[in-house]
Amino acid sequence: MKTSKQISLVLGSLIMFFSAQTVLSQKYNVNKNASSMKIEGTSNIHDWEMVAEDFKGNLNVEVNDGQLVAITALDFTVVAESLKSGKGGMDKNTYKALKTDNNKNIIYQLNKVKEIDCTSKTRCIVSTSGYLTIAGTKKPVDIVFNAYINGGTITLSGNQDISMTSFNVEPPSAMFGTITTGEDLNIRFQITFSK
């Protein structure tokens, strides 16, 4: 009798232990109203930036006791012609360089997470490798970003340098070539995903 009580107690303790350690898999979608992305570049006259106005994405994560432990999927798509500079001529030249007639979207797909370093329960630094497709050219890219967990949302923020020519994009020019843009860009993002 005593032995069966001890067994029940041990089994109950194990169940409680594993319940406390349960890793929850959760899916999130981009919240456009709480997100922003812009592309910064240079020219022989002045610096410039374009803001992405139309994008979507999905994020699948595993969470243990409210803390991020794994990212199992991350996909993000920007409609190329939703990039706006506030200057129609520059936008038109950018779309031509991005070959938007045949390549409507700029796409990022996560390949794997190299490391998740959580400095607190709500903030982690995530090192990843994935694939970025611009103007129909797909290239591997390593991105490090911050992940902030706040209740039902996860926000990914950071920035990434890329070279247009590595994606076979000829830097746009204007005014018969008298205004030329540099080939290096910086993509700044703060993307919030909600359940």
Mean pLDDT by 10 residues, the chain (195 residues): 54 46 85 96 80 97 92 98 91 92 97 96 97 97 96 95 92 60 90 96
Side-chain-side CA neighbours of residue 72 (13 Å): 10
Q: Quick check: helix, strand or coil at residue 34?
A: helix
Residue 178 phi, psi dihedral angles, 5° rounding: -75, -25
Q: Provide the whole-model pTM.
A: 0.83
Given phi > 0 = left and psi -120 to 50 = alpha, else beta, which region is 151?
left
